[in-house]
């Protein structure tokens, strides 16, 4: 696996909107003069969310609490293989501020680690992942979401529009 540089911690303000395909088309037309496709414009993002068998984490999230968290494995590879780079991510949200903390590893290693079959190099983020798993009494893969976002170098506020 080729090592790529990445940020392992970051925060942002996140606001999401549900819009129709027609509204998306209108927005893209309106923003066309401000947008330039970059090398990631049509990248695929795969998210494998971990949760309890009763979906405790997502149920708590849907209640719109002051604080919520998710655990996922994220890839930017359209067809990930066992040795593809993935990120074990903790996504925490306090009000509208999102904090992400992540560890880069290979897909097979991430799956084995979350199944309790191997260990990762010790780090603060690894300890936080283990705390989440312990807090929820064990988690397992529960939902896979595939996105194909439209990104822009110049208009960073319009970060992602899932057009499928």
Distance CA 148, CA 133 (A): 29
- pLDDT > 70? residue 150: no
Residue pLDDT, tens place only, 72-82: 999 988 889 99
- pLDDT > 80? residue 162: no
Least confident of 24-28, 46-50, 55-59, 116-120: 24-28
Distance CA 107, CA 84 (A): 6
- The mean pLDDT of 141-160, rounded to a whole number, is 67
Report the DSSP pairing between strands 9-13 and 45-51.
Answer: unpaired
Which tokens sit at 80?
Answer: 């990930």
Which tokens sit at 16?
Answer: 């999401």
List of E strands, 52-137: 67-75, 85-94, 97-106
- pLDDT > 80? residue 158: no
Structural domain boundaries of the chain? 43-164
Residue pLDDT, tens place only, 13-44: 888 889 988 998 898 889 888 877 777 677 78
Res 2: pLDDT: 53
- Residue range 43-164 in CATH 3.20.100.30: yes
Residue 72 · residue 49 · CB < 8 Å: yes
């Amino acid at each position: 696996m080729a090592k790529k540089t990445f940020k392992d911690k970051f925060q942002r303000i996140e606001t999401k909107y549900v819009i129709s395909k027609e509204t998306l088309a209108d927005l893209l037309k309106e923003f066309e003069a401000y947008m330039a496709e970059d090398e990631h414009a049509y990248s695929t993002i795969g998210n494998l969310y971990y949760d309890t068998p009763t979906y405790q984490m997502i149920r708590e999230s849907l209640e719109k609490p002051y604080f919520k968290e998710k655990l996922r494995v994220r890839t930017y590879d359209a067809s990930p293989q066992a040795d593809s780079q993935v990120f074990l991510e903790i996504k925490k949200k306090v009000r509208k501020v999102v904090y992400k903390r992540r560890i880069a590893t290979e897909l097979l290693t991430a799956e084995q680690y979350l199944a309790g079959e191997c260990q990762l190099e010790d780090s603060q983020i690894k300890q936080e992942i283990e705390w989440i798993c312990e807090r929820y009494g064990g988690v397992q893969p529960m939902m896979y979401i595939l996105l194909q976002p439209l990104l822009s170098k110049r208009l960073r506020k319009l970060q992602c529009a899932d057009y499928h």
